[in-house]
Amino acid sequence: MTSAADSPLSVSIWVHDLRIGGSELSLLNELQNMDHSVINPTIVVMGRDMTLAEKFTDAGVRVVQITQGSLWRRTRDVWRLLRHPKPDLVNTMLFWPNVTVRPLARLSGIPVLTTLVNSDYGPSQRESSPHGAWAVRIAQWADALTSRFSSAFRAVSQDVADVMSSRLRLPSSRVTTIHRGRNLDALGRRTTERRETVRRDFDLEGRTVFICIGRQDRQKAQETAVAAIARVSVAHPSATLLLVGRNGEGSDAIRDVLAAQPAGSVDVRILGERSDIGDLLAASDFLLFPSRWEGLPGTVIESMALETPLLLSDIPGSREVTGGHAWFFPVDDVNACATQLERAFVEDYPEDFVRANRERCETMFDVRVIATKVSDLMKTVASR
Residues 181-219 have pLDDT tens digits of 999 999 999 999 999 999 999 999 999 999 999 999 999
What is the tally of structural domains in the chain? 2
Q: Kindly state whether residue 370 falls inside one of the protein's structural domains.
A: yes
For the beta carbon of residue 192, count every other beta carbon within 10 angstroms.
8
The verdict on 36 and 59 lying in the same domain is: yes
Residues 57-77 have pLDDT tens digits of 999 999 999 988 887 888 889
Q: Kindly state whether residue 101 falls inside one of the protein's structural domains.
A: yes
The verdict on 232 and 303 lying in the same domain is: yes
Is residue 178 within 8 A of residue 156, CB to CB? The reply is: yes
Is a pLDDT exceeding 80 seen at residue 147? yes
What pLDDT is attached to residue 37?
95
Write the single-letter amino acid at 204.
L
Exposure letters 52-72 (e unless 16+ CB within 10 A, then b):
bbebbeebebebebbeeeeee
| Residue 2 pLDDT level (bands cut at 50, 70, 90) | very low
The verdict on 76 and 205 lying in the same domain is: no
Is a pLDDT exceeding 70 seen at residue 4? no
User: 61 φ, ψ to 5°?
Assistant: -105, 125
Check residue 323 and give left, alpha or beta (phi > 0: left; psi -120 to 50: alpha).
Answer: left
The verdict on 21 and 129 lying in the same domain is: yes
Is residue 40 within 8 A of residue 59, CB to CB? The reply is: no
The verdict on 154 and 113 lying in the same domain is: yes
- What percentage of residues in the chain have a pLDDT greater than 90? 89
Domain extent at residue 306: 186-364
| CATH (domain of 140) | 3.40.50.2000
| Residue 286 pLDDT level (bands cut at 50, 70, 90) | very high
The verdict on 160 and 220 lying in the same domain is: no
Name every residue whose Cβ is closer than 8 Å to that of residue 72 and which is 6 or more positions away in sequence. Answer: none
The verdict on 146 and 212 lying in the same domain is: no
Q: Kindly state whether residue 1 falls inside one of the protein's structural domains.
A: no
As a whole number, mean pLDDT of residues 112-138 equals 91
Is a pLDDT exceeding 60 seen at residue 245? yes
The verdict on 67 and 202 lying in the same domain is: no
Residues 323-371 have pLDDT tens digits of 999 999 999 999 999 999 999 999 999 999 999 999 999 999 999 999 9
| Residue 5 pLDDT level (bands cut at 50, 70, 90) | low
d(CA 370, CA 31) in angstroms, rounded, equals 10
User: 242 φ, ψ to 5°?
Assistant: -100, 120
pTM of the model: 0.90
